[in-house]
Copies of this chain bind each other. A is one copy, B any other.
Amino acid sequence: MRFVAIGGDAAGMSAASRAKRNLNDWDVTVFEQGFDVSYSACGMPYNIADPGRDINDLVVRQARVFKEKQGIDLKTGHCVNKIDRGKKIVSGITLDGNQFTVSYDKLLIATGASPIIPDLPGFDLNGVMALKSLDSGRRIKEYIRARNVNKIAIIGMGYIALEMCEAFRAVGIDVSVVKPRPGFIPWMSPNLSKVVQDEVVKNGIKLYLGHKIMGIEETGANRLRVICEDLSIDCHMVLVAVGVWPNSRLAGEAGLNLGVANSISVERDMTTSDKDIYAAGDCADAYHVVTGKKVWIPLALRANRAGWAVADHLSGQNVQLDGVAGTAVFKTFDLQVARTGLGIEEAKKEGFEPVETVIESRSRAHAHPGSTTIYAQMVGDRRSGRLLGAQMVGCEGVAHRINAIAVALHQKMTVESFSQCDLAYAPPFSPVWDPTLTAANQLLKML
């Protein structure tokens, strides 16, 4: 029996490794179009801007370990371009130009996501870069080094853009950020978004919000200009960080059902509309634990978890993934920014009757040295009393606090139940009432 995975990143390699452990007598083959497998993609922002660190430090496990130690037939430089579901074969071409074909009993599509590159003039110029694969990180890092880049324009304002702001500033690079929409972090409660915006501006980032981008021009050797309707920004390099889309073309061409945002539609057991084909990772959708509906929120943990789930299902286990809560955290300068569940606008759209509270609390106890402000937002549903989501911003103690709320969302807890939780308290770490409890107590009064 042969299990074939297309894509050798988080989901693909997690599935292949676990499948080989679970089912030692199966052939496990992975096709990866690049040459890097199993690396910390999310670690790239922190590495790229630091000339003292080798980007290959981000590799968690070398390709040869998978091949030699784990017995996985890992084929890098292999680009699959067709799935024949009738014959149960995949075929493609190597980077050397050789055709290949292999049959499968079970197939996993783990083709990930790709950066969105706006279809505008100049986005194909040399020096206009996007960050996704380790190889793209390698190219960006080398570009900055080789050309002494010290002026960068970032287009877009997502997690990666905000992380790169900090990373670039840390090595003294001048950074301008431009985006078409007027809101700084649109999914965030305006009070909290303002706190993050102030931090970014305080650290010397030039922000240009609400400027429609027309294109990019080359103005000289290593000189680029981002052209907006009413503004132009000169720089040495442009980082395009407007988001990603799922690599679902292969699945779509094979006739598999696509769902939210064109991602591959999967059941809780990770199977697609073809029971012999799984999809996992950034190319696939998932259930949202709050709404019970399908969403496409491509993040690292669920990719790893989905990879394992595929291997477990393959070996006959009853797999039913709970889904995602949309829990995420990032760091920008001195701030930790975290979220889980639904924002107020999302909650309205989903048919809830949402009520929101925004509080300011402290990271440590009354009179404890080093205490800083924690800003917390919490959303509940007036009809059911359910906790729907939360957002937090602060200098410390935000990144892990959000997890308590994420667990509550998985359990569909009410705000009242959550407010009763016995959370940890000691003066160096929290007020007696943890900020998450203070938010819940406030929200409870409004429900």
Q: A322 contacts the other chain (Cβ, under 8 Å)?
A: yes
Tell me the minimal C-beta distance from A15 to chain B in angstroms.
15
Q: Does A403 contact B (CB under 8 A)?
A: yes
Residue A289 lies at the interface, judged by CB distance under 8 Å to chain B: yes
Given A43-B367, A403-B403, A432-B301, A421–B425 Cβ distance below 8 Å? Answer: no
Q: Find A407's partner among B330, B368, B418 (CB 8 Å cutoff).
A: B418
Contact of A422 among B323, B397, B434 (CB under 8 A): B323
Are B367 and A40 in contact, with the CB atoms below 8 A?
A: yes
For A403, give its contact among B10, B46, B421 (CB under 8 Å).
B421
Q: Is A245 an interface residue (CB 8 A)?
A: no
Stretch binding the partner chain, chosen from A107-115, A193-201, A408-416: A408-416
Contact of A423 among B322, B403, B420 (CB under 8 A): B403
A341 — nearest CB in chain B belongs to which residue? Answer: B422
A287-323 toward B: CB 8 Å interface, digit per residue (1/0)? 0010000000001111011000000000000000111
Q: Is A429 at the interface (CB under 8 A from chain B)?
A: yes
Residue of B nearest to A14 (CB): B432
Tell me whether A361 is interfacial, beta carbon within 8 Å: no
Judging by beta carbons under 8 Å apart, are B365 and A422 in contact? no
Q: Does A424 contact B (CB under 8 A)?
A: yes
Residue from B43, B330, B425 within 8 A of A366 (CB atoms): B43
Within A371-412, which residues are at the interface with B (CB < 8 Å)? 397, 399-404, 406-408, 410-411
Name A289's closest neighbour in chain B (CB-CB).
Answer: B422
- Contact check, A399 vs B422: say whether CB atoms are below 8 A apart: no
Tallying the copies of this chain within the complex gives 2
Please judge, given known A-B contacts A321-B420, A428-B46, whether A400 and B411 are in contact too, CB under 8 Å: no
A189 CB within 8 Å of chain B: no
Which residues in window 22-64 of A have CB below 8 A to B? 40, 42-43, 46-47, 53, 57-58, 60
A417 near B338: Cβ-Cβ < 8 Å: no
Chain B residue contacts of A53, Cβ below 8 A = 369
A265 at the interface (CB under 8 A from B): no
C-alpha spacing A331/B424, complex, angstroms: 12
What residues on B are CB-neighbors of A324 within 8 Å?
A: 422
- Kindly identify which residue among B300, B322, B424, B434 contacts A425, using a CB–CB cutoff of 8 Å: B300
In the assembled complex, A252 has its CB within 8 A of some CB on chain B: no
Query: B367–A58 contact, CB under 8 A?
Result: yes
Q: What residues on B are CB-neighbors of A427 within 8 Å? A: 40, 42-43, 46
A176 at the interface (CB under 8 A from B): no
Within the assembled complex, what's the spacing in Å between the Cα atoms of A420 and B324?
9
Residues in B whose Cβ lies below 8 Å from that of A289:
422
Cross-chain contact B58 with A432 (CB below 8 angstroms): no
Closest chain-B Cβ to A43's Cβ sits at a distance in Å of 4
Interface-central residue, A47, A289, A328, A411, by most chain B CB under 10 Å: A411
Contacts of A329 in B (CB 8 A): 424-426, 429
Known pairs A328-B424, A399-B400 / 7 extra A-B pairs, C-beta < 8 Å: A40-B432, A58-B367, A302-B422, A322-B420, A329-B429, A340-B422, A403-B434
> Which residues in A have some Cβ–Cβ distance to B below 8 Å?
10, 40, 42-43, 46-47, 53, 57-58, 60, 289, 299-302, 304-305, 321-331, 336, 338, 340, 365-369, 397, 399-404, 406-408, 410-411, 413, 417-418, 420-430, 432-434, 436-437
